[in-house]
Structures are given as structure tokens and as C-alpha cells.
């Protein structure tokens, strides 16, 4: 059971390292001379190798090892980077990724890597033939310390020695009354791994987890930190009796020399250890913990139930008019409001999770298409609700592919046009109010208005007359209508029939909007606006005859009461003059065919809603008030109901439908 815990950590960390590898390799591709980046890459590869060797994933370790050799040669100026080398390294990272994914899905993480390994070895030997031979020469010899090292581990140690790291043989003794040996071991490992890298342990990790050891265990640590610091830090873990640290030299190891010469034994006053542990732990303990997303989902669900009951309590308190009850309910509402914002922020994830796969994708696509692309990412730290993050990946992929395929021109064309050969695609995310904006900007060809209108007319989407009066934004939004594809030729990258309309639908189903701005010859901007969260929203409850509906506050500009006499008609469409603008009116009673039970009055209550820069007025019979509600779906059975986006449960236990105001604005 403990191995699972390590496995989880291993997978998480491997992914982080792989991501770092990918990112830094891309940087390296642009700045091949930057040795700092090579060092970064080397470090990631090195850690990954150590981890996978400790966990016993041989293929993974072999491949990283070979990759590391190549990187090392680059670092030491023995090999010059060229695109071919990078391609092979990228391939290697891909294979590593596959293996890690395989491990994650319960596989053994094995993969045929010999070809890649030999390719890497060839690169390495091509320029630096001596390197690898030295690394794998020696036979392991057993040692009084009880550590038996294999060739691979020896190679790691040798290398670290060469690089000026120190190898320490560390012997840790637990106290006799130690209750949770495995836990202490885990803590010691945590400490050691924060200081350096554990190459080998005796007994091995799985035995340590099973507490299949007496009181002592031995660890080989590679680090740059001084001995004393390691000792001090390890002793801070409670229930440790003693730590002894010696320098470990491979030569000494091989010649089985006398072992105790440099032994430093540190027995520290136990009480003191206990004291300092408690104090220091508070300071040292990590500021973050990893929580299973499922638990957060459960928390969210429970909280949703609470919000429903809070609504109910508020209503009861209003009806009863008991001052103390009222006060308590108000307090509770405030507290649960705070709680709500905490629960919601806990579910926030940085959009980097989605963005970080794009550099690789763009690199590959640009290669396939023979284009030169510079992808710039801004605001990757912007946070969004996890539910939104889960959904937004595909639309973004589609839009980026679209920009690459149809937006940015080939280098030849760009040169003719006097643009720099390398096109730029900029991905930018930022917060504003209760929304998150994601802009995808390219400096490509832009959208040809004429081509779009011609095609739209041909496909029967609009008439010639309509085309003439449409503004640019309206024309551009046509390309997101179903059955519209502007590409002259259908390619693999985009334009496979499923067009931008899918993108638009997904974004709108998330309660967001997408707009397009473009200037021909200069490029296009696709702007996506998304709500921060999907599960709890603020709405205005309105009454239509005897039925209650909820209008999301995010789409409301304001409410107004309008005398009947102010209503005018344009082409059979009721409109009002609202703050100098002509706003069309929509009678919700008619749209929703609400049975009439009330008499008409001389005044209309109107909710003015917006969608982009368009607006409309919804005629209702009364405003009930603003409320926080939990969004619920209508389920699989009731889908595609016009102008209804979902439902919610009100304080009185009844269901109210949520109006999809986007559908009501044409």
C-alpha cells in the first residue's frame, strides 16, 4: 500500500520533470548556445534517472541515462547541438513520457528503447567516444557497509564525483521505541532528497516500506551540501537515534578498505531532538499539500447541498420574522459565503496545465506544415476552476491549429509580403472581474471578409443584403457557424469538417463567449471569455406569471420598469429606446409559453441583457431578487431545450430553470 504512495509521487514528479525537459528543450532549440539551459535539462534528466532507477524501472533509467550522456557531452562542449540531435532527444522524451503514462495506467513502464538508446549512443560516441566506456566498466564488489552497487549506480556515483558532487554513505539508526518505522524512513528520505539524491538504499525501498529491517538502514546520497548539514537535518526527524555519515569513494568501495576511518557518529540528546523537532517542523513543513481532486469534488457537492439549505433557511427566517433566528441565519450566510469562496479557490488550477502542452504541439505542427512559428505564452499562471480547465483544452487546441494552418503563412509567402519569416502566435490568459480571458493572436494572413461573405452566401447562411450591412465582427463570427470551413483545401491539421462551430459550442456551453477580430494581412485575434467557475453562480430570480426563472447576473446590464406607452415597433419587433439605444424586447411569457394567470399591468418589468456588444430586454412580470444558486443540469433526458441552460433548486425545494440569455439575442 505504501508503494502506491511512492508511485503517485514518482509519477507526479516524473511528469513535472518531463514537462521541464520539454520546455527547456524548446528553449534550447532557440538558443543552442545557452549552456545554462543544458544544465537545467541535465538536472531534470538526472533526477528522473535516479528516481526511475530507485523505483526499478529499468528501461526508463537506461534511456534517461543515455540521454544524460549526450547532454553531458553537449554541456562539456564535446558535441555541438544540431536539429538532428534535438529531434532524437525529443523522441527520447516522447518515449519517456509514454513509459511514465504506461506506469500511471498500471503498466510496467517497459518499452523497446534500444534503438533510441543506440541512436543516442551514436551521437555521443560520434564526438566523444571515451565517455560511455568509462561509465560502465567496473564490476561491483561487495562491501562491509552492506551496500551492493550495480554498474549503473556506480556510473551515477562516478559521474557525480567527476562533477564535484560528494557521495555520502549515511547510516541512520531509529530509536528502539519507534512506532512507525516506515513513516520515519519516509521522512528521512524526504529530508535527504531535499538535499541531494538518494542513489541506493539498503535494505531497498520496498523492504523499508514494509518495515522489513531492524533499526538501522543505509543510504547512498549524492549531494553538494556539507556533511554536517545533512546530519543536522536528518536528526530533526523525530525518533532518530543516530546518524552516521561518511564520505563514499568508489575506489575505497572497490578495494574494500577499512570502513570506519571517517565515521562521524552523532548521538544527540534525545529530549533535545524531540523539542527542536516540534518547533522546527512547524517552520519547515510544506506550505502545500496534495489533495485528491475527487475529495475536492465531494467537498464541492456537499457545499452545494449546504447552499441550497442556506437558501431555504433564509426563506424560513424571512417568513418567521424571529429576530434572533434572522440574525443567526445572516451570520451563517456570511460564513458560508466565505467558505464558498475558499472552496471555489481550492478548486482553482493554473491554466499552465493546458498551456504547457502547446509548445511541443506547435513545434511539431510547424514542422509538418513547413512553417516557422514562434509561440509566446503569457499569463500561464492564471487560475481557473478545474471544470473549466478540463473542457477548455480541446477548443484551444483547435484554435491554435487553426491559426497555424490558416493564419500564419509559409516562410516564402511571408518573405514576399515583407514580414519576418517566423510567424508569431501569442497565447495570453488574464483575469478581469469574474471572468478569465484567453486571447490567441497571430500575425498571419487575417480573415478575408469577402471570401467569408461569399462562402456564407453560397452556403445559404446569409443573404446578399444581410452581408452588405454586417459589420466586420459579425462577418468573422460566421466562420464559427456550423457547416462553414474557409480552408481552400482540407488538411490534416484543421478543417476536417468539424469546424470552429464545435469550438464555439463548447465555449458557450461553459457559459463563455468567443469573438474574432481580424485585419487582413496583419493577423487575427480570437478572444475567449470564460466564467471563473461553473458550479455556483449569482442570478436574478424573476417571475413570469406564476413561474420562477433565474437569469445569470453575468449577462445582465440592468433592470428597468417601463411604461407600456414607451414601447415602439420596428418591423413588428417591439423595441424600447433605452439610454439612447434601440433595444429589442423579448417576451419571456411567449418564448416559454407560460400559462396566463395574471392580468396585464401598464408597466413592464424588463431585464436588459447583453451578449458581446448586443443587448436585448426580457419582459418579465416581476423581480424576486438576487441569489447565489447551484447550477444543476437537466440530465440526459432533457437536452437542447431552447433558451434554458440548466436548473437550480431554490430555498423552498422547488426547481427553477436558468435562462440561457445568449440564445435570446440574435
Partner 1 sequence: MAEEIVQDVKVIVFQLKNEEYAVPVTQVGSIEKMEHITRVPNTESFIKGVINMRGVVTPIVDLRSRLGLEETPVDENTRIIIVDLDDTSMGLIVDAANDVVDIPVDKIEEAPQVIGAINVDYIDGVVKLEDRLVILLDLRKVLKFHEIEAIKSIES
Judged by CB under 8 A, does residue 641 bind partner 1?
A: yes
Judged by CB under 8 A, does residue 655 bind partner 1?
A: yes
The set of cell numbers assigned to 315 is 426563506
> Cis (ω within 30 of 0) for the bond into 617?
no
Judged by CB under 8 A, does residue 305 bind partner 1?
A: yes
Judged by CB under 8 A, does residue 497 bind partner 1?
A: no
CB atoms within 10 A of CB 240: 23
Nearer to partner 1, 575 or 647 (CB): 647
Q: How far apart are the C-alpha atoms of 455 and 181, rounded to whole Å?
A: 72
Pair 97, 109: CB distance under 8 Å: no
Among 308, 456, 500, 616, which residue sits at the site for partner 1 (rule: CB under 8 A)? 308
Judged by CB under 8 A, does residue 21 bind partner 1?
A: no
Nearer to partner 1, 26 or 306 (CB): 306
The set of cell numbers assigned to 170 is 549515511
Pair 147, 141: CB distance under 8 Å: no
Chain centre to alpha carbon of residue 285: 25
Contacting range for partner 1; rule: CB under 8 A; set: 210-218, 361-369, 424-432, 654-662: 654-662
List the x/- string, 578-607, binding to partner 1 by CB under 8 A: -------------xxxx-------------
Judged by CB under 8 A, does residue 647 bind partner 1?
A: yes
Q: How far apart are the C-alpha atoms of 77 and 73, rounded to whole Å?
A: 6
- The least CB distance from residue 151 to partner 1, in Å, is 54
Torsion of CA 239, 244, 249, 253, to 10 degrees: -90
Residues 120-139 that bind partner 1 (CB under 8 A): none
Nearer to partner 1, 294 or 640 (CB): 640
46 is catalytic: yes
Among 433, 497, 580, 635, which residue sits at the site for partner 1 (rule: CB under 8 A)? 635
Helical packing angle, 58-75 and 35-55, nearest 10°:
160
**Alpha carbon of 357 to those of 305, 551, 570: distances in Å?**
36, 37, 51
- The least CB distance from residue 415 to partner 1, in Å, is 43
Among 105, 261, 285, 639, which residue sits at the site for partner 1 (rule: CB under 8 A)? 639
662 is catalytic: no
Contacting range for partner 1; rule: CB under 8 A; set: 257-265, 338-346, 382-390, 655-663: 655-663
DSSP state of 261: G
The single residue of 68, 124, 197, 391 carrying the catalytic annotation is 68
- The least CB distance from residue 301 to partner 1, in Å, is 9
Judged by CB under 8 A, does residue 657 bind partner 1?
A: yes
Pair 79, 67: CB distance under 8 Å: no
Nearer to partner 1, 260 or 635 (CB): 635
Contacting range for partner 1; rule: CB under 8 A; set: 35-43, 173-181, 219-227, 644-652: 644-652
Among 126, 420, 521, 653, which residue sits at the site for partner 1 (rule: CB under 8 A)? 653
Among 86, 644, 663, 665, which residue sits at the site for partner 1 (rule: CB under 8 A)? 644
| Terminal CA-CA length for the chain | 58
Q: What is the DSSP string of 300-332?
A: HHHHHHHHHHHHHHHHHHHHH--HHHHHHHHHH
- The least CB distance from residue 338 to partner 1, in Å, is 23
**Alpha carbon of 83 to those of 303, 352, 400, 411, 421: distances in Å?**
53, 27, 24, 18, 18
The set of cell numbers assigned to 341 is 469562496
Contacts of 237 (CB under 8 A, 6+ apart): 184, 187, 188, 191, 277
CA-based diameter of the chain, in Å? 105
The single residue of 24, 69, 402, 662 carrying the catalytic annotation is 402
17 is catalytic: no
Q: Which of 310, 284, 141, 166 is nearest to 228 (CA)?
A: 166
Nearer to partner 1, 572 or 636 (CB): 636
Judged by CB under 8 A, does residue 649 bind partner 1?
A: yes
Q: How far apart are the C-alpha atoms of 648 and 625, rounded to whole Å?
A: 15
Residues 524-583 that bind partner 1 (CB under 8 A): 547
- The least CB distance from residue 89 to partner 1, in Å, is 39
Among 72, 656, 660, 661, which residue sits at the site for partner 1 (rule: CB under 8 A)? 656
| Chain contacts with partner 1 (rule: CB under 8 A) | 305, 308, 547, 591-594, 632-644, 647, 649, 653-657
- Residues labelled as active-site residues: 46, 68, 402
Amino acid at each position: 500500500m505504501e508503494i502506491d504512495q511512492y508511485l503517485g509521487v514518482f509519477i507526479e514528479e516524473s511528469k513535472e520533470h518531463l514537462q521541464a525537459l520539454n520546455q527547456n528543450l524548446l528553449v534550447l532549440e532557440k538558443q543552442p548556445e545557452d549552456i545554462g539551459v543544458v544544465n537545467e535539462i541535465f538536472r531534470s534528466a538526472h533526477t528522473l534517472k535516479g528516481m526511475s532507477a530507485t523505483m526499478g524501472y529499468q528501461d526508463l533509467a537506461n534511456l534517461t541515462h543515455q540521454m544524460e550522456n549526450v547532454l553531458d557531452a553537449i554541456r562539456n562542449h564535446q558535441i555541438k547541438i544540431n536539429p538532428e540531435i534535438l529531434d532524437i532527444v525529443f523522441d527520447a522524451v516522447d518515449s519517456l513520457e509514454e513509459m511514465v503514462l504506461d506506469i500511471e495506467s498500471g503498466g510496467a513502464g517497459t518499452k523497446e528503447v534500444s534503438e533510441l538508446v543506440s541512436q543516442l549512443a551514436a551521437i555521443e560516441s560520434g564526438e566523444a567516444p571515451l565517455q560511455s566506456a568509462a561509465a560502465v566498466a567496473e564490476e561491483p564488489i561487495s562491501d562491509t557497509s552492506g551496500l551492493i552497487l550495480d554498474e549503473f549506480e556506480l556510473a551515477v556515483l562516478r559521474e557525480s564525483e567527476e562533477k564535484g558532487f560528494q557521495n555520502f554513505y549515511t547510516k541512520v539508526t531509529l530509536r528502539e521505541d519507534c512506532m512507525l518505522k516506515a513513516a520515519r524512513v519516509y521522512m528521512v528520505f524526504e529530508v535527504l532528497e531535499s538535499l541531494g539524491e538518494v542513489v541506493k538504499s539498503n535494505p531497498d525501498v520496498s523492504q523499508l516500506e514494509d518495515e522489513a529491517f531492524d533499526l538501522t538502514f543505509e543510504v547512498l546520497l549524492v549531494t553538494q551540501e556539507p556533511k554536517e548539514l545533512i546530519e543536522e537535518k536528518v536528526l530533526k526527524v523525530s525518533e532518530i537515534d543516530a546518524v552516521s555519515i561518511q564520505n563514499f569513494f568508489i575506489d575505497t568501495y572497490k578495494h574494500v578498505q577499512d570502513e570506519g576511518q571517517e565515521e562521524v557518529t552523532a548521538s544527540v540528546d534525545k529530549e533535545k531532538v524531540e523539542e527542536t523537532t516540534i518547533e522546527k517542523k512547524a517552520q519547515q513543513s510544506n506550505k502545500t499539500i496534495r489533495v485528491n481532486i475527487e475529495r475536492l469534488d465531494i467537498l464541492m457537492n456537499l457545499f452545494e447541498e449546504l447552499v441550497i439549505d442556506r437558501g431555504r433557511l433564509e426563506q424560513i427566517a424571512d417568513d418567521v420574522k424571529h429576530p434572533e433566528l434572522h440574525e443567526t441565519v445572516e451570520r451563517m450566510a456570511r460564513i458560508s459565503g466565505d467558505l464558498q469562496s475558499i472552496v471555489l479557490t481550492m478548486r482553482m488550477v493554473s491554466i499552465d496545465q493546458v498551456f504547457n502542452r502547446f509548445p511541443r504541439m506547435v513545434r511539431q505542427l510547424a514542422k509538418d506544415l513547413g512553417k516557422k512559428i514562434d509561440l509566446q505564452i503569457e499569463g500561464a499562471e492564471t487560475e481557473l476552476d478545474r471544470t473549466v480547465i478540463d473542457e477548455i483544452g480541446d477548443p484551444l487546441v483547435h484554435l491554435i491549429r487553426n491559426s497555424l494552418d490558416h493564419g500564419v503563412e509559409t516562410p516564402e509567402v511571408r518573405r514576399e509580403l515583407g514580414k519576418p519569416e517566423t510567424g508569431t502566435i501569442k497565447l495570453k490568459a488574464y483575469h478581469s472581474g469574474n471572468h478569465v480571458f484567453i486571447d490567441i493572436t497571430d500575425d498571419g494572413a487575417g480573415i478575408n471578409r469577402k471570401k467569408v461573405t461569399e462562402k456564407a452566401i453560397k452556403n445559404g447562411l446569409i443573404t446578399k443584403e444581410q452581408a452588405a450591412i454586417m459589420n466586420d465582427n459579425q462577418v468573422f463570427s460566421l466562420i464559427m457557424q456550423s457547416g462553414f470551413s474557409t480552408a481552400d483545401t482540407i488538411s490534416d491539421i484543421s478543417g476536417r469538417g468539424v469546424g470552429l462551430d464545435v469550438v464555439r459550442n463548447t465555449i458557450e456551453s461553459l457559459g463563455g463567449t468567443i469573438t474574432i477580430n481580424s485585419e487582413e494581412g496583419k493577423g487575427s485575434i480570437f478572444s475567449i471569455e470564460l466564467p471563473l467557475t461553473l458550479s455556483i453562480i449569482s442570478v436574478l430570480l424573476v417571475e413570469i406569471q406564476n413561474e420562477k426563472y433565474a437569469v445569470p447576473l453575468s449577462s445582465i446590464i440592468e433592470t428597468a420598469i417601463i411604461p407600456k406607452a414607451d414601447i415602439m415597433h420596428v418591423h413588428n419587433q417591439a423595441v424600447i429606446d433605452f439610454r439612447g439605444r434601440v433595444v429589442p424586447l423579448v417576451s419571456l411569457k411567449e418564448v416559454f409559453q407560460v400559462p396566463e394567470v395574471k392580468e396585464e399591468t401598464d408597466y413592464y418589468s424588463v431585464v436588459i441583457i447583453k451578449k458581446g456588444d448586443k443587448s436585448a430586454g426580457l419582459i418579465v412580470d416581476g423581480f424576486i431578487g438576487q441569489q447565489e444558486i447551484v447550477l444543476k443540469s437537466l440530465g440526459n433526458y432533457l437536452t437542447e431545450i431552447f433558451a434554458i441552460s440548466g436548473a437550480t433548486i431554490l430555498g423552498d425545494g422547488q426547481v427553477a430553470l436558468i435562462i440561457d440569455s445568449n440564445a435570446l439575442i440574435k
